[in-house]
């Protein structure tokens, strides 16, 4: 490759990855307005309240993605422990009275003026970078549980405790699933992963039964129609939305369930609004776009120049797609209800910005492949 070609900025842009991300963000902006306009008008006096904020977040996220495209991913190795400590500090700050912002019974946000920041999103990226760096450094001894497995689980447990105190059980599930994927790819023996999983089952059971609302969620998941006015309300109205959407949908803006029936229609349950207004065809399009991201992310990871780039790419890809699968599973009543947004589509600044940042990292890893 010529010197001129190696410095071509277009080399850093991966159209195969960018197209589905832009498509999802575009659909998300339109559907956030459709899903939230009535709620925004009633609660804030402007139908554009959530739409305008998401546009600002999208601008910040696009800038973060562009910066990450050109920023050499190998530099993250030097910042690994600093990012990890900063993430723990942010999570711990939520526990200080008057610092964390509480909504829906959970304290998950740090707020400055009208801008809010969710530390768990930053912590997720910091955890991915840490696991990628640590597993790369320990490849020759990764089969030893005391070196390749336990240190990573200890860090994961620290984050788990801090997030559990918010509480945010859904994010904990994502963290553990994502970490297990990265450790598996990082050649941690499957016997260690399976053994630890079995040992943690009692703890997971305790988490489930320690809070009454979690018990109700799982009982309701088995038979939502038994609790139509309380715990089963969300699931029932989500299913009603998909059912009324049919194949072609009711049409943009014509959905009924978003009109104060379906809780959080612009965040956790935006997929149901998409199903009602866009129908099965739009649902399949959304799934297809996420599958392209998954395929491209795995392709970038498998072709990475070094282990750090490979593990980092696998982690970012797993983070985005696992959350998408869980959110869509909840909306389709295939999984118990969890408070997780749909990447690139749901309203939420932290999620959008850090997912776009992750996409930028993926693009840089791919660009370094072409450069070599």
Residue 2 has pLDDT above 80, yes or no: no
- By CB atoms closer than 10 A (0-12, 13-18, 19+), residue 202 is exposed
CA–CA dist 290, 173 (Å, integer)? 20
What radius of gyration, in Å, describes the C-alpha atoms of the chain? 21
- By CB atoms closer than 10 A (0-12, 13-18, 19+), residue 248 is exposed
- Compute the average pLDDT of residues 349-356: 94
In this structure, are residues 17 and 372 in contact, taking their beta carbons and an 8 Å threshold?
Answer: no
Q: What is the pLDDT of residues 104-119, one digit of tens each?
A: 667 787 876 666 789 9
Residue with tokens 């389709």: 332
Q: Average per-residue pLDDT in the chain?
A: 88
* 3-state per-residue secondary structure call for 69-129: HHCCHHHHHCCHHHHHHHHHHHHHHCCCCCCEEEECCEEEEEEECCEEECHHHHHHHHHHH
Residue 183 has pLDDT above 70, yes or no: yes
For 38, the enclosing helix (H) or strand (E) is: helix 15-44
CA–CA dist 80, 82 (Å, integer)? 6
Residue 172 has pLDDT above 80, yes or no: yes
In this structure, are residues 152 and 131 in contact, taking their beta carbons and an 8 Å threshold?
Answer: yes
- Name the strands in the sheet holding 106-112, side by side, starting at the edge strand that comes first in the sequence: 100-103, 106-112, 115-117
> Given this model, what pLDDT does residue 340 score?
85
Residue 53 has pLDDT above 90, yes or no: yes
CA–CA dist 10, 223 (Å, integer)? 52
pTM of the complete model: 0.91
Tokens of 329: 């599973």
> Given this model, what pLDDT does residue 4 score?
42
75-80: long-range pairs with CB below 8 Å, 24+: 76/129, 76/133, 76/312, 76/361, 77/129, 77/133, 77/136, 77/308, 79/129, 80/129, 80/130, 80/133, 80/134
> Given this model, what pLDDT does residue 34 score?
94
With pLDDT > 70 as the criterion, what percentage of the chain qualifies? 87
pLDDT confidence of 207, banded at 50, 70, 90?
A: low
In this structure, are residues 241 and 275 in contact, taking their beta carbons and an 8 Å threshold?
Answer: yes
3-7, 102-106, 286-290: segment of lowest average pLDDT? 3-7
Q: What is the pLDDT of residues 229-263, one digit of tens each?
A: 666 677 888 888 888 889 998 989 888 788 867 77
């Amino acid at each position: 490759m010529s010197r001129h070609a190696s410095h071509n900025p277009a080399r850093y842009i991966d159209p195969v990855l960018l197209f589905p991300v832009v498509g999802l963000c575009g659909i998300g902006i339109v559907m956030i307005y459709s899903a939230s306009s009535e709620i925004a008008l009633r609660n804030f006096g402007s139908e554009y309240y959530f739409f305008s904020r998401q546009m600002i977040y999208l601008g910040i996220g696009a800038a973060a993605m562009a910066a990450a495209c050109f920023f050499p991913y190998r530099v993250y190795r030097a910042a690994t422990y600093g990012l990890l400590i900063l993430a723990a500090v942010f999570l711990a700050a939520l526990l200080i009275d008057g610092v964390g912002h509480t909504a829906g019974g959970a304290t998950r946000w740090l707020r400055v003026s009208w801008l809010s920041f969710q530390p768990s999103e930053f912590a997720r990226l910091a955890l991915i970078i840490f696991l990628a760096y640590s597993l790369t450094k320990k490849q020759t001894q990764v089969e030893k549980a005391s070196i390749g497995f336990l240190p990573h689980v200890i860090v994961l447990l620290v984050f788990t405790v801090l997030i559990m105190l918010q509480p945010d059980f859904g994010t904990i599930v994502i963290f553990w699933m994502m970490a297990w994927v990265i450790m598996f790819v990082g050649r941690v023996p499957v016997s260690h992963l399976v053994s630890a999983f079995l040992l943690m089952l009692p703890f997971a059971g305790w988490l489930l039964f320690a809070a009454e609302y979690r018990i109700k969620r799982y009982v309701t998941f088995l038979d939502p129609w038994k609790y139509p006015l309380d715990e089963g309300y969300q699931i029932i109205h989500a299913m009603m939305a998909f059912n009324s959407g049919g194949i072609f949908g009711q049409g943009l803006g014509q959905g009924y369930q978003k009109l104060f029936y379906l809780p959080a229609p612009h965040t956790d349950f935006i997929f149901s609004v998409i199903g009602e207004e866009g129908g099965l065809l739009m649902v399949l399009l959304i799934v297809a776009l996420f599958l392209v991201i998954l395929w491209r992310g795995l392709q970038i990871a498998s072709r990475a120049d070094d282990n750090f780039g490979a593990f980092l790419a696998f982690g970012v890809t797993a983070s985005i797609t696992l959350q998408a699968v869980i959110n869509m599973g909840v909306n389709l009543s295939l999984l118990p209800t969890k408070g997780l947004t749909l990447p690139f589509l749901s309203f939420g600044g932290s999620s959008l910005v850090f997912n776009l940042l992750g996409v930028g990292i993926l693009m840089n890893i791919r660009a370094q492949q072409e450069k070599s």
